[in-house]
């Protein structure tokens, strides 16, 4: 077997533009309908769509009833298909459109796959609804009549594959697609499940169901769930309002989902023809399938499937204009924020409560700086005590002012602890650090890493010793962003007995604190929001002359907004650095320029690899989302790995 490297254009990176179209049709007026399909097809082609999906039976209209049994309509439909095929000459965009097809004295509801002046395949519908609002078995035969074999049918002198087990793929890229029709999706085991297991990364569904109350929501749920279950992109187009209204109305909704996320949602009822586009990352699906062992456990390697090569490579997205790239991928959507935030807080709370019960800890010892991470950790401690019916005075919160502590953070820490009703102590560390500088022969005028780390380790020593003294446990405050970057002092704030924030990135911590503020008293909410607005800092260097924070973390390593974005795409989808850069350019176009993003990405890669040794011995903590860096399960990486290959992607 030969392997080759495919060089990608700067805007490609596995993205394909998928289109779902709902044309305005006339029932049984094939000539009119085909003209509209051709117009929409060329619009999609001019916009570099890789594929466009039209509704079921779009050449004739889906509501023709007994007219489907008329040879005149059958012949007109075939002539309309040939006219459409001819119109696609020299166009690499793939079209999925529907018509009735007579084959060996049986009539089938089929989807035609057309590209570049050729008919690539005909795919019949399997599940034929036959209930109150639909009676397709009156007119059509199920694909089951054909068995598992792909047949060959003569269309205008050409032998064309005809059957359900057909996958269309591009030999030069990651594009691969399968087709199911309408109610096939609603079956217990949809054909798309088999197609996905056999290698289809995109499922295309032309549909024509009537619009009923709540049916659109049902369709959204089905499409999203099937795209998640199959780890695929799913494109769904339904017949529009031009269908007959004799007994029902068709809405013409359009849906595109990728791995459980709906990125196009149009409920329909448009009086004009519509096209919706989505730039979809197929490489992302390949990585998701690679990482999901359950997918591989049930995978089919071509059993009873026919793989058809495209005439030419479907166009890749020329840009990411129709891609949904969130700059804050860790944050819940606004509509789900309340539920998701409470869910996260509950996971943290119950994780800590279990550890308290198991260790019989009498005190929860925590360092409070007046910053984001320790604030969230302290609130989790309070919630855990309430869950276990323990008094909040079982929480021993310490503020340990040093050389860089500012009045703002010290005041916020003190007042917050008072409002939460925890035991609060202040233990200054400056004298102890000066003594240690003397012991190790370090000049305190040298503001080096040693100067900073001595303070961090002194604070950790105090916390650990007080935990021993009171029969308690030290609750860690470090977050996922800091763990990824190694932004902690080894055997200092890097260490604890339980790390409640270990899988929560900095951007999400801000969201959680704002959520908590929204459910707090006005006095506490004011402090929490000021903490959220305070620059992130370890406060290990002296403040400015005006008493404000001088040492700002994001001035040194770059914004956490970027680093969280980098971490998400690097970890979850294995995106290479040049692709991450391209995505970040799109997501942060109004905020950061390319050179700055590239500089920060270089910092992320370097630190992620260099600081693995800290992650290799990190403490226990609860996993709240799909991304965590625990060395015991989620991320197993040698501490001595080099970043050379990743850096070369960025540099080149």
Percent of the chain at pLDDT > 90 equals: 86
Residue 590, pLDDT above cutoff 80:
yes
Q: What is the mean pLDDT of residues 1-12?
A: 44
Give the span between the Cα atoms of 324 and 180, in whole angstroms. 25
Residues 460-473 pLDDT 10s:
999 999 999 999 99
Residue 302, pLDDT above cutoff 70:
no
- Give Cα separations from 636 to 342, 571, 594, 615, 639 (angstroms): 30, 12, 31, 9, 9
Residue-level pLDDT at 260: 93
Residue-level pLDDT at 7: 41
Residue 584, pLDDT above cutoff 50:
yes
Span of 1-15, 28-42, 68-82, 615-629 with lowest mean pLDDT: 1-15
Residues 626-646 pLDDT 10s:
999 999 988 999 999 999 999
Percent of the chain at pLDDT > 70 equals: 97
Burial class (CB in 10 A: 0-12, 13-18, 19+), 137: exposed
Residue 86, pLDDT above cutoff 60:
yes
Residues 475-527 pLDDT 10s:
999 999 999 999 999 999 999 999 999 999 999 999 999 999 999 999 999 99
The two three-digit tokens of residue 90, written as one number: 């020299």
Banded pLDDT at 110 (limits 50, 70, 90)? very high
Residues 21-56 pLDDT 10s:
999 999 999 999 999 999 999 999 999 999 999 999
Give the span between the Cα atoms of 282 and 604, in whole angstroms. 25
Residue with tokens 């709540």: 214
Residue 3, pLDDT above cutoff 60:
no
Q: Which of the two residues, 85 and 300, has the higher pLDDT score?
A: 85
pTM score, whole prediction: 0.91
- Give Cα separations from 374 to 369, 459, 509 (angstroms): 6, 13, 10
Residues 156-212 pLDDT 10s:
999 999 999 999 999 888 999 999 999 999 999 999 999 999 999 999 999 998 888
């Amino acid at each position: 077997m030969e392997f080759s490297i495919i060089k990608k254009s700067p805007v490609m990176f596995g993205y394909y533009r998928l289109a779902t179209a709902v044309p305005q049709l006339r029932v049984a007026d094939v000539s009119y309908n085909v003209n509209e399909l051709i117009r929409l097809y060329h619009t999609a082609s001019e916009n570099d769509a890789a594929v466009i999906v039209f509704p079921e039976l779009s050449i004739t209209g889906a509501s023709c009833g007994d007219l489907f049994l008329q040879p005149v309509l059958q012949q007109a439909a075939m002539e309309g298909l040939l006219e459409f095929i001819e119109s696609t000459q020299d166009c690499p965009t793939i079209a999925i459109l529907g018509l009735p097809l007579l084959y060996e004295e049986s009539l089938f509801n089929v989807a035609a796959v057309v590209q570049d002046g050729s008919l690539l395949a005909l795919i019949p519908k399997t599940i034929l609804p036959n209930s109150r609002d639909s009676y397709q078995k009156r007119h059509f035969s199920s694909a089951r009549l054909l068995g598992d074999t792909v047949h060959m049918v003569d269309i205008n002198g050409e032998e064309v594959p005809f059957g359900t087990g057909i996958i269309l793929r591009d030999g030069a890229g990651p594009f691969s697609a399968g087709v199911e029709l309408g109610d096939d999706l609603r079956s217990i085991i949809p054909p798309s499940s088999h197609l996905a297991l056999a290698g289809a990364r995109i499922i295309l569904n032309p549909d024509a169901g009537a619009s009923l109350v709540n049916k659109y929501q049902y369709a959204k749920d089905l499409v999203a769930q099937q795209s998640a279950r199959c780890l695929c992109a799913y494109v769904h187009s339904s017949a529009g309002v031009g269908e007959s209204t004799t007994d029902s109305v068709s809405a013409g909704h359009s849906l595109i989902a990728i791995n459980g996320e709906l990125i196009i949602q149009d409920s329909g009822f448009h009086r004009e023809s519509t096209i919706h586009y989505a730039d979809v990352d197929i490489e992302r699906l390949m990585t998701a399938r690679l990482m999901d062992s359950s997918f591989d456990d049930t995978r089919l390697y071509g059993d009873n499937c026919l793989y058809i090569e495209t005439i030419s490579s479907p166009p890749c997205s020329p840009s990411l204009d129709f891609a949904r790239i969130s700059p804050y991928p860790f944050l819940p959507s606004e509509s789900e924020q309340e539920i998701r935030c409470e869910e996260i807080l509950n996971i943290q709370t119950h994780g800590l409560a279990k550890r308290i019960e198991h260790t019989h800890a009498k005190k929860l010892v925590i360092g409070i700086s007046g910053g984001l991470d320790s604030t969230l950790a302290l609130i989790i401690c309070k919630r855990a005590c309430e869950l276990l019916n323990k008094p909040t005075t079982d929480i021993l919160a310490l503020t340990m002012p040093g050389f860089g502590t500012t009045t703002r953070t010290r005041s916020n820490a003190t007042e917050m602890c008072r409002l939460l009703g925890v035991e609060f102590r202040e233990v200054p560390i400056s004298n102890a650090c000066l003594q240690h500088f003397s012991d190790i022969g370090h000049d305190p005028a040298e503001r080096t890493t040693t100067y900073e780390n001595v303070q961090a380790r002194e604070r950790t020593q105090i916390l650990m010793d007080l935990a021993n003294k009171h029969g308690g446990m030290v609750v860690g405050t470090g977050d996922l962003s800091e763990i990824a970057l190694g932004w902690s002092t080894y055997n200092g704030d890097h260490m604890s007995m339980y790390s409640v924030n270990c899988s929560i990135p900095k951007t999400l911590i801000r969201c959680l604190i704002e959520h908590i503020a929204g459910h707090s008293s006005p006095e506490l909410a004011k402090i929490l929001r000021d903490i959220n607005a305070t620059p992130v800092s370890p406060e290990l260097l002296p403040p400015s002359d005006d008493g404000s924070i001088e040492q700002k973390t994001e001035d040194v390593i770059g914004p956490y907004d970027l680093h969280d974005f980098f971490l998400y795409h690097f970890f979850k989808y294995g995106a290479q650095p040049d692709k991450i850069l391209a995505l970040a350019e799109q997501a942060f176009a109004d905020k950061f320029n390319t050179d700055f993003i590239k500089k920060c990405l270089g910092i992320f890669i370097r630190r992620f690899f260099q600081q693995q040794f800290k992650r290799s011995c990190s403490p226990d903590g609860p996993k709240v989302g799909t991304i965590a860096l625990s060395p015991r399960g989620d991320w197993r990486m040698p501490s001595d790995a080099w970043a050379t290959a990743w850096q070369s992607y960025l540099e080149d």
